[in-house]
Amino acid sequence: MRKANAAADARSATPSLARREREKAETRRLILGTARALFTRGGYHNTTMRRIADRIGYTATAIYHHFADKESLMLELCAGDFRELGRALTSIGRVADPIERIRQMGRAYVRFALEHPEQFRFMFLIERPMPGPEEVHRLDPGEDGYQFLLGSVREAMAQGRFRPEFRDPDVVAQSLWAAVHGIATIHVNTPEVGHKWLDLRDPLETADVCCDALMQGLLQAP
Amino acid sequence: MRKANAAADARSATPSLARREREKAETRRLILGTARALFTRGGYHNTTMRRIADRIGYTATAIYHHFADKESLMLELCAGDFRELGRALTSIGRVADPIERIRQMGRAYVRFALEHPEQFRFMFLIERPMPGPEEVHRLDPGEDGYQFLLGSVREAMAQGRFRPEFRDPDVVAQSLWAAVHGIATIHVNTPEVGHKWLDLRDPLETADVCCDALMQGLLQAP
């Protein structure tokens, strides 16, 4: 690690500046990750900047050097996490058939939640202020998961794929989102519930069955 | 109020005992409601018995007179809330057709979440220990929402109502639960998101469309 850094610095015209930038970025990442863990565990409202600083052995002053306040820290975390989820969904954008694309998106959404439970909790499950798009750096269209889903629904609708009673693309998109969001939430939030209260099935299997049934119900008979 | 109490006491054989019982029950309800509010706002792990006591102007000692510890308090809250949700679902049990019953259950689930957002948050969204059935007073079969749903799915399956590829009653029940759970979660947890990020539709309308599509996909063609 240190060796690689040294090599990179040797190649750089301003080695100390490059190193400082890299260190600053690393510190920001450390602060963001620690804040997310504390927000999801202890609640956004209960977590102070001092507590985040304490956890990583910084002074509160040092942390304010990186983020003006708790809200800007939360906003940056939020923007980054939504961008990551958006990318996980839009990365399957090559699929030509909008219906097949929607199916794959559903599976990718559940997989993202299972693989990033803390991010999913922070994004959707904890109580925190909900910023508007103008407060977060605007997501690129290619990074906005909901818009990507909605666009695919509109495309399928324009091709006459849906039954005529399903006319509102937002209601259809929100039904599809809700189904996979429900599966993700049940499994992320109460992973051990299956062993105690009910015979909880594999989330990806449930997602497949649920999306298959939902699509079959939405689509015109072939 | 005071007058009515006096009249009730006059009718009672042991007026002071009856009054004391009633007061005790009222105190327990107050403690439970306060604890739920603090758990959902500040997180279960951060909320101490002392803080709950402080909020209602009791000493910590007085609160321990009613609940042995925070866990027993949480368990009783949990049992009561799941019983209430179970009743909201099972109260539609008179519906003879299992498919129509499942539809109504979906709507009732979303309505329960919208009308009791704090209970819904406490039950499903905050991070807290997940008790097993043996730790909570066992729910009557008539008060267990999941079992009621599962029973209805089994009944419809036995009638040959579902397409043959949907054979596992638990996967089908969990798909149906997930869909309405997703709608409820999105609306309970981020009520204002609709005005900021996307054109969020009415949750009961979305529940109807989502359940219609899901049932149409699950059921044999008529």
Q: What is the pLDDT of residues A72-92, one digit of tens each?
A: 999 999 889 988 999 999 888
pLDDT in tens, B31-73: 999 999 999 888 888 899 999 999 999 999 999 999 999 999 9
Using CA atoms, how far apart are residues A181 and A210, in angstroms rounded to an integer?
11
Residue B144 in this model has a pLDDT that exceeds 90:
no
Nearest-Cα distance to chain B for A15, in Å, is 42
CB–CB contact A183 B180 (8 Å): no
A2 has a pLDDT exceeding 50: no
B1: confidence class by pLDDT, cuts 50, 70, 90: very low
User: Which residues fall within 8 angstroms of residue A92, CB to CB, at 6 or more apart?
Assistant: A101, A104, A105, A108
Of A46, A170, A199, the CB nearest to B43: A46
Q: How many other β-carbons are positioned within 10 Å of the β-carbon of residue A158? A: 11
Substitution target from A130, A211, A220 for chain B, most B beta carbons within 10 A: A130
pLDDT for res B2: 45
CB A30 within 8 A of CB A56: yes
**Rounded alpha-carbon distances, angstroms, from residue A62 to A51, A77, B190:** 13, 18, 32
Cβ-nearest to B213 among A46, A170, A217: A217
Instruction: Give pLDDT tens digits for B169-220.
Output: 999 999 999 999 999 999 998 766 556 678 889 999 999 999 999 999 999 9
Query: Between chains, do B201 and A168 touch, taking CB under 8 Å as contact?
Result: yes
B130, B161, B204, best to mutate vs chain A, most A CBs in 10 Å: B130
The C-alpha atoms of residue A155 and residue A170 are separated, in whole angstroms, by 13
* Domains assigned to chain B: 1-67 (1.10.10.60), 70-222 (1.10.357.10)
Asked if A101 and A161 count as a contact pair (C-beta separation under 8 A), the reply is: no
Average pLDDT estimate for A140-162: 90
What sign results for the dihedral spanned by CA atoms A206, A212, A216, A219?
positive
Of B174, B185, B217, the CB nearest to A217: B217
Q: How confident is the model at residue A139, as a pLDDT?
A: 65
CA–CA separation, B21 and B38 (whole Å):
26
Q: Is A115 exposed, middle or buried (0-12, 13-18, 19+ CB in 10 A)?
A: exposed
Average pLDDT over residues B127-144: 72
CA nearest to A56, candidates A77, A78, A82, A26? A26
Q: Which of B175, B193, B197 sits opposite A210 (nearest CB)?
A: B175
Burial label for A109, CB within 10 Å (0-12, 13-18, 19+), is buried
Phi, psi of A116 (to 5 degrees): -130, 60
Looking at chain B, which residue has its C-alpha nearest residue A163? Answer: B213
Instruction: Count chain A–chain B contacts defined by CB atoms under 8 A.
Output: 172
Per-residue pLDDT, A45: 86
Residue A54, both tokens:
């304490």
CA distance readout (Å), B113 to A150, A165, B4, B38, B221: 26, 27, 34, 18, 32
- Interface confidence, given as ipTM, is 0.86
What is the pLDDT at residue A11? 54
**Residue A179 and residue B177: Cβ atoms within 8 Å?**
no
Tens of pLDDT, residue by residue over A62-73, are 999 999 999 999
Among chain B residues, the shortest Cα distance to A199 is held by: B170
